Structure formats: C-alpha cells, structure tokens
Amino acid sequence: MRASLVLLLLLAAAARARAGDWLLQAEADAASATIPGEGGPRPLVKTWVPYDPASRLFRAWIPGEGWRGSEEDDALGTVERFYGPEDSSGLVRATISVRLVDRDSAIFVPAKDAVAVMRREEDGRKTTPLTTRRFPAGLARLFEVTRELRLPADEGPALPLTVHEYVAVIPRGEAYFVVRLTSARSDYLALRPLFVRFLEELHAVGDR
C-alpha cells in the first residue's frame, strides 16, 4: 500500500531520455539543443528572485518572470508547487514541486525504498539510471522518468502526450525532499538548466 502511495509522487514523464550524468552537462547540452518544431534553443532564465514558503521548510530562488509559487495540500500532504509556462500544445504546464516526506507523512518509507519505487518501470513508463550530486540541501539521488499518456479529446480519438520529469530525492536525516520538474517532452532539454539552478539555490531550513 505504501509503495503504491509513494509511486504517486511521480506525476509521470515521457520517451526515454538519454542516460548519464546530465546535470554535469546541463548548460552545455541546453545551449546546443534544438527543440522539435522550433528554430533553436530557448534563452536561459536571466532573472531569479528569492522565495520563502509559508511552511518555512526551505528557502529557494525561482525564475522572476512567468513562474509563481503556491503551497497546496493534496492526498499525499503539503507540497510547494511552482507553475511555469505551458508547452506549445497548451496541454502541459511546466511545474516544479518540492515535498518533504518525514515520519509524520502517511506515505513515509525510507528514502532508498522510495527511490526504488519511483524508478520502477512498466508499460509506457521508463526511467534513467540513478546518479548523485551534492547540492546545498544535501546529496541528491537524481533520475528521469518518462511516460506516454493519452488524454481524452472532445471529439475523435484520445490525444497522445509524452510527459517528462526530472526527479531529485534529497535525504535530510530520516526525512527527505522530493523535488521534480514536470514538463512536455518537447521542452525538457530547454528546462534542464532551470532545474539545475533551482537545486543549486534550494536550502533546507533546520535539521530533520
């Protein structure tokens, strides 16, 4: 039951992304990437602003234009979400989420077990190899998830959609942060440096 709940921490993702330590090459890859349907790479975010959530569990910097933060409660508990731009189809909005999972959480399992569940593959759902990198909030376990979805259409057959997700699990004692960036597959390369920068500016408040 717990494993099933933890699996909900992943909102999905799409088409297998390449393996390797993508974080170390993020800026270089994004600079040379051409997104399908576009003439060239999108410009990197130039302006970032500080963000302090009401929960006071962390401090962060977020893009100064086109993004907004919101603390929300869902079936899994409290989560901070940062909503960015929509993809060209208007079906997927780029979203960064930060959730702290601790022993008071209904979905709590140890971080190692949570990572194993979140990286589980099935039909239409693929994951990349696990890598690690240290950030101010701690040593992150990093991977990507992709999922093929079909959305109901007003008329005609269901619409195919490929969603991509960068995931970072950052232990804080027994607790851990789950940070993810969800977007359309067509935008994931352009958004990769943004996810790296967000992790570089994420600071946990207090010890757990």
Q: 205 and 56 in contact (C-beta within 8 Å)? A: yes
Q: How far is CA 32 from the centre of its chain?
A: 22
In this prediction the pTM is 0.76
Q: Residue 133 pLDDT > 90, yes or no? A: yes
- Edge-first strand order for the sheet with 203-204 is 48-51, 58-63, 203-204
The pLDDT of residue 129 is 95
CB 81 within 8 A of CB 60: no
Q: Could you tell me the fold of the domain covering 2-204?
A: Protein Transport Mog1p; Chain A (3.40.1000)
Which residues lie below 8 Å from residue 144, measured CB to CB, with a gap of 6+? 13, 17, 22, 127, 128, 164, 165, 166, 167
Among candidate residues 106, 133, 136, 185, the one with its CA nearest the CA of residue 25: 133
The string of DSSP letters for 152-194 reads --SSSSPEEEEEEEEEEEEEETTEEEEEEEEEEGGGHHHHHHH
Hunting for tokens 């993004």 — which residue is that?
67
pLDDT band at residue 155 using 50, 70 and 90 as cut-offs: low
Amino acid code (one letter) for 158: A
Helix/strand number for the chain, H first, E second: 4, 11
pLDDT at site 71: 92
- Predicted confidence (pLDDT) per residue in 12-51, tens digit: 333 333 333 444 444 444 333 333 333 334 446 779 999 9
**Contact (CB, 8 A) for 162 and 185:** yes
Most confident of the following: 34-43, 112-121, 154-163: 112-121
Q: Would you state the structure tokens that stand for residue 70, as one six-digit string? A: 């919101």
Q: For the chain, give every domain's residue range.
A: 2-204
Note the pLDDT of residue 158. 75
pLDDT of residue 44: 61
**Which residues is 180 bridged to in the sheet?**
97, 167
Is the distance from CB of 114 to CB of 148 less than 8 angstroms? no
The dihedrals phi and psi of 172, each to the nearest 5 degrees, come to: -135, 85
Under the banding of pLDDT at 50, 70 and 90, the label for residue 149 is confident
In this structure, the chain runs to a length of 208
